[in-house]
Each structure stands twice: as C-alpha cells, then as structure tokens.
Amino acid sequence: MEMKVSLLMVGDELLIGQVVDTNATWLAQALWQLGIPVVSKITCGDDMDDIVAAIHASFEKGEWVIMTGGLGPTKDDVTKKAIASFFNTELKFHQETYDRIKSYFNALKRPLNELHKEQSFMPENGEIIQNELGTAPAMLFEFGNKRLVSLPGVPYEMKDLFDREIQRRIKAAIPESPYFYSTLRTIGIGESDLSARIDELPVDWDRDISLAYLPDMAQVRLRISAKGVNNKDAMEKVAKARLILKDKLGRWVYGEDNDSLEIVVGRLLLREKKFLVTAESCTGGLIAHSITKVPGASSYFKGSVIAYSNEVKESLLKVPAQTLKDHGAVSEQTVIAMVRGALITLNADIAVAVSGIAGPDGGSEKKPVGLIYIACGDANNVKVTMLQLNKDRQQNVAYASVAALNMIRKFLLGL
C-alpha cells in the first residue's frame, strides 16, 4: 500500500517570518528517507478555526497528517482545542502528563504554575506520547486508515519524538514503500554544465528514474529518485543510475547523501593521517567551525589562527611586513605566507589560508569588494586560487569557506 503524508505547521511566528520553518524541512527529509512522499504542506496561524479547516484540507491529500506547534501552555497555543473540535470530543485532565510535567520541573528545581495544569488537559481519544525533552507531549489519533500526529513545535523536541516514537509507528503502518532516492553531491560545476554532461544518457537508462538539481554555494546536489515495484527494486534502480552518473561526472562528485564537504575532507585527512590547520582572515574562523562541526575532528584538525588584522598576520603567522607592504593583505603572496606561517606556528601537515575583501565596503578599483585569495598546501607545495565574488558580505564569507574546503579536498586528492 502506498502512503502519503500531509504536513501542517502551526504558529503565527511562521506566518510573519519570525521563525524559519525548519520542522517541515526536517520532517519531509525524514519521511523521504522512509520512502514516504509528503504531498502537501500547510502553514497556519494560532487560530482554532483555521487549524480545524487546515486539518480537514490536509486529510484530503494524505492519509497521515503530521502537525507541529501550538501545544505550549500559553493561551495562543490552541492546537489541542482544534484537534478536540475536529474529532468532536473534549479535553480531559491527563494525570500521567501532569506527573510527567511535575517531575520535569522538579528535576530543573523550578516551580509549577496553573498553566502547566492546563497543559495537562488532552483530547480524550488520542494516544499520548510523553516528551522527554520538554513539557508538551505528542499525540497520535487513529481513525480508519487515517492518522493524525501532533508534535511540539520546538525543533529538538519534535525530532526526538519523531525518531524515538513516530518513525516506528509509520514503518509499522507501511511495511514497504515503492520509492527510493539518493543524492550525489557535486562541487565546482554549474547546474547547466552538469545538465549538459548528463544529457547524453546511455540507451539502457531507466525511464523511471527522475533527476532534480539543487544548486547551493558552488555546489549542486543531484537527486536521483525512483519508483519501483517495491523498495528493493527502487533502490536497485537508483544504485544503477548512481553508478552511471558518477562515471559521467567523475571528479565533480565529492560525496553522496549526507556527506558534507567537511565530512569528506575529514575522511581524506584521516586516510592520509594528516593534520590540518587554518589561517583565516575574512572567514573569521568559519572554515575551522565547519571542520569542527564533525564529531571526531580532533583526529585530523589541530586549530586555527584568526588573523584578521595585519598585526596578527605578522606576529602569529610570520607574514613578512614587507609582503604586506608590497602586495597588501589581500594578495597571493600574503595567503601563501599565511599557509607557511600556520604550518610552523601550529605544527601541522596541511594548512589553508584565506584573505579577502568581504564587503560591503573596503574595496578599491584594483582590489574590489569580493576579491578573495585562498592558499592551501604543505611544506613542499602551496596552491593558490583567486575568487572574484560579489558585494554580499555573508555570501562572500560562506562561499570562501566552501571554496577553501574544496581546495583542501583537491589538494589531498592531488587534483
């Protein structure tokens, strides 16, 4: 049986753009990984009638409706009342929820108030699933082949409840999904060049495979999706297509599925048994942050010098004053000197250095905003690249950091 899910996100804060709806993105990805398509997403405010109408509309598209938000103890959180109205039932005091909230607050040594008592009123007809990381429990309602799931809005609480409790209930309801998808991650090749390379597909290319291009920050994620007679069939179709595409795209592909650039760089450093350091001017530590987001980074990353000023470039990275005077802080010569200095100061095998004019001000005719130099190398060999980006400071810094990670990858692969 094929199952479809509708998402329903509740909260005025989502409608006015105060909070980015990361819950929907996360849930859609988690569901896709189970092979379940999300067929609709509705965002609605904290208004009871609107929520009831949105629940009805969501069930027109999917057999399961997963909603988040609006479960807190405050008056503006009306999801439970809307659910009770949808089922034409009442909210009843739920002792287990109250005990759970009480012990949660006891552990934090904080007092309970009347609102928490109110939060323990739940619709009569649902399964209440306790929240281990917060106060609002999740709820699951079954009627016929339909299910309504209500999760708290706080992202880490929502994720924990989904992973711990909801996922297995979904799996039990659908033993087999006919869908499968996988992602190839590419870097350094634009969407149109990528598509031109892929255009000439082999004659035995499976017509049930669909491709989608997701460009972002010098990278394009290529999603390969298939529908088969069953999950195994879809998975095999995707695996075959992935091999063909990898062969066509060669060195542009740096990873698959959840491999981020920093994970891939980490893996290469571990394999080579090399230690990396960074010397960062305009990226202000962003490259080091990306690297250290990955658990276990201490096995291949030593540290960083954030050399934002010329003073630090000279004192900690031993960039000669003459180099800075003759060529400026944003120059090929300076980033090469930064790499050499970082290798010695931080005693490492490989260093990457970045210096640029992130903007929005500080450019000149000779050195405009968006001019960025990156160097990467070891004691024997240092490579340099120059980027001319645009005027957006945040974008320039993020792009430079990605480009630096890619330079490390290429250096380690000898590309």
Residues that bind ligand ATP (CB under 6 A): 9, 11, 13-14, 19, 21-24, 68-72, 77, 134-136, 152-155, 157
Closer residue to ligand ATP (CB): 36 or 154: 154
Q: 66 CB contacts (<8 Å, ≥6 apart)?
A: 5, 6, 7, 8, 27, 149, 151, 166
CB of 133 to ligand ATP, least distance (A): 9
CB of 169 to ligand ATP, least distance (A): 19
Dihedral sign, Cα of residue 276, residue 279, residue 280, residue 284:
positive
CA–CA dist 30, 399 (Å, integer): 27
Closer residue to ligand ATP (CB): 78 or 238: 78
Q: DSSP secondary structure string, 146-189?
A: EEEEEE-SSHHHHHHHIIIIIHHHHHHH-S--SEEEEEEEEESS
Q: 123 CB contacts (<8 Å, ≥6 apart)?
A: 80, 83, 84, 87, 89, 90, 91, 92, 139, 141
Closer residue to ligand ATP (CB): 131 or 323: 131
Per DSSP, what are the bridge partners of residue 225? Answer: 181, 210
Closer residue to ligand ATP (CB): 150 or 401: 150
CB of 19 to ligand ATP, least distance (A): 4
CB of 158 to ligand ATP, least distance (A): 8
CB of 152 to ligand ATP, least distance (A): 4
CB of 27 to ligand ATP, least distance (A): 9
CA-based Rg of the chain, rounded to a whole angstrom?
26
Closer residue to ligand ATP (CB): 16 or 229: 16
Closer residue to ligand ATP (CB): 41 or 237: 41
